[in-house]
Amino acid sequence: MFSFIFLGFLVGFLVGLTGIGGGALMTPSLIFLGIEPLMAVGTDLLYATVTRIFGVFFHHRKGSIRFDLALRLFAGSLPAILLGSVLLRVIDKSTLNNYLTLLLGVILVVSSFFSLVKGEFHVPIRPRREYLYLLGFIVGLTVQFTSVGAGVIVSFALMNLAKLSPREVVGVTIFYGLPLSFLSALNYAFLGSTNYHLALLLIAGTLPGVYLGTHVNRKVDRDKLKRVINVIILVIGLLTLFQRVI
- pLDDT given at position 80: 93
Amino acid present at 103: L
pTM score of the predicted model: 0.82
Alpha-carbon distances of 86 from 42, 45, 46, 187, 194, rounded to whole Å: 15, 18, 19, 9, 17
pLDDT tens for each residue of 61-103: 666 678 888 899 999 999 999 999 999 889 888 888 878 888 8
Q: What is the largest CA-CA distance in the chain?
A: 50
Pick 98 or 10 by higher pLDDT. 10
Cα dihedral angle (105, 109, 110, 116), rounded to 10 degrees? 160
- Residues 138, 134, 235, 165: is their CA dihedral positive or negative? negative
Q: Are 38 and 96 in contact (CB under 8 A)?
A: yes
- pLDDT given at position 194: 93
Q: Are 75 and 136 in contact (CB under 8 A)?
A: yes
- pLDDT given at position 10: 87
pLDDT tens for each residue of 141-188: 888 888 876 777 787 777 766 667 666 777 788 788 889 989 999 999
Best-predicted range by mean pLDDT (22-26, 59-63, 114-118, 208-212)? 208-212
Confidence label for 125 from pLDDT (cuts 50, 70 and 90): low
Q: Alpha-carbon distance 180 to 49, whole Å?
A: 8
pLDDT tens for each residue of 25-60: 888 889 888 899 899 999 999 998 888 887 777 666
Alpha-carbon distances of 61 from 12, 57, 64, 113, 205, rounded to whole Å: 21, 6, 8, 32, 24
- pLDDT given at position 34: 87
- pLDDT given at position 21: 60
- pLDDT given at position 75: 93
Give the mean model confidence (pLDDT) for residues 111-130: 64
- pLDDT given at position 118: 62
